[in-house]
Amino acid sequence: MANAAVSAGMAGRPVYGSISRDRRWALRWSYFFLVLFAIFFLMPPIYMLITSLKSSAEISAAQNPWWVENPTLSNYVELLTQNQFLVFFRNSAIVSVCVVAISMVISVSAAFALARMKFWGSATLATGVFLTYLIPDTLLFIPLFKMFAFVRENLGIELMNHWWTLIIIYPTLTVPFCTWIMIGYFASIPKELDEAALIDGATWMQTLTKIFIPVALPGIIAATIFAFTVSWAQFLYPLAFTTSTSELVLPVGIVTTLIKGDVFNWGQIMTGALLGAAPPLIIYAFLMDYYIAGLTAGATKG
């Protein structure tokens, strides 16, 4: 409004008025398109929520699918009192927490060694770590499947159809990227800092735990979030390596047990999907800046 008044007052100098009018229109168009894109981007999660609040009768009734007539929490109650679903949730939680712990220990110590201590072949190894990050899980699941059979025949350890097997293989998905971003964070710490610590008689271990980890804490949080979201969302490995319902993790459990043949109980499926999406979303809501820092730090998978 003020701009309009200014441009009216400066009728003799139309250039200024047209620039501010352009800006104002650009802003309006920006908001308009942002709203459109937000609708497109948020439509599936919102529809998940809408469906999860409906009873099966309301879902199959011929009425507006975007509106809830009689909101009910029965889907949530049913799912959360179902032993099976709680088992999926527990498996997912244990696997993700263990994988986060393992990947952080492996990648922080390796990144420290590669960024600061340098040894024979360390530069090649850093490149190699990056290359393994580019090898997708879809290339590895078949040879891993065969390797598990080999382990069973020769060592007598059954790796197939156990949720804890996932703790062993998920780090392959998280460690390369976590190491890669930690190398970046560690390399940005000034050399004087750890030299001072070494002169004061600190061991390498002390330098790592007393100086590098506290200083690079934002990077560690970003890497932790990355490791958690990757292991929570992983779908291919559990689908290929686990089958009994007591061994499934959440994404596979929802897809394979709630969809039975042609009978789709959509209210429960959407409730399960929403509950499965909740942990990453909650972490994202509270630690958005770290999440985005981790994303842009080294160009994640997109």
Partner 1 sequence: MADIAARNTAILEGNRRGGLHRLMQRKSTIAFLMALPLIVLLGVLVAYPAGYAVWLSMLNKSMTKFVGFGNFEFLFKRATFWDVFFQSCLFAISAVIFKAIIGFVVAHFVHNIPTKGQRKWRGMLLVPWVIPPAMSTLAWLWLFDPSYSAINWVLMHFGIDRIPWTGEANWARFAVILVNIWVGAPFFMIMYLAALKSVPEQLYEAASIDGATWWQRIWYVTLPMMRNIIAITALFSLIVTFANFDIVRILTAGGPLNATHLFATWAFKVGIESGDIPLGAAVSLFMVPILAVAAAFILRDITKRGSEV
Q: Is 8 exposed, middle or buried (0-12, 13-18, 19+ CB in 10 A)?
A: exposed
Instruction: Kindly state whether residue 18 participates in binding partner 1, applying the rule CB under 8 A.
Output: no
Question: Which CB sits closer to partner 1, 97 or 281?
Answer: 281
Q: Please state, as a whole number, how many other Cβ atoms lie within 10 Å of the Cβ of residue 291.
A: 19
Tokens of 75: 């889907």
Q: How far apart are CA 244 and CA 134, in angstroms?
A: 31
Number of residues in contact with partner 1 under rule CB under 8 A:
96
Of 194, 232, 242, 290, the one binding partner 1 by CB under 8 A:
232
Instruction: Kindly state whether residue 235 participates in binding partner 1, applying the rule CB under 8 A.
Output: yes
User: Looking at 6-14, 151-159, 212-220, 229-237, which segment touches partner 1 (CB under 8 A)?
Assistant: 229-237
Instruction: Kindly state whether residue 129 participates in binding partner 1, applying the rule CB under 8 A.
Output: yes
Q: Please state, as a whole number, how many other Cβ atoms lie within 10 Å of the Cβ of residue 126.
A: 17
Instruction: Kindly state whether residue 57 participates in binding partner 1, applying the rule CB under 8 A.
Output: no
Residues comprising the chain, all counted: 302
What is the footprint of partner 1 within residues 77-116 (CB under 8 A)? 105-107, 109-110, 112-114
* Pairing state between β 259-260 and 263-264: antiparallel
Least distance to partner 1, CB of residue 217, Å: 19
Least distance to partner 1, CB of residue 236, Å: 5
Least distance to partner 1, CB of residue 84, Å: 17
Tell me the angle at which helices 83-112 and 266-286 cross, rounded to the nearest 10 degrees.
30
User: Looking at 9-17, 81-89, 216-224, 281-289, which segment touches partner 1 (CB under 8 A)?
Assistant: 281-289
What is the footprint of partner 1 within residues 142-161 (CB under 8 A)? 142-147
Instruction: Kindly state whether residue 204 participates in binding partner 1, applying the rule CB under 8 A.
Output: yes
Q: How far apart are CA 25 and CA 184, in angstroms?
A: 42
Q: How far apart are CA 286 and CA 275, in angstroms?
A: 17
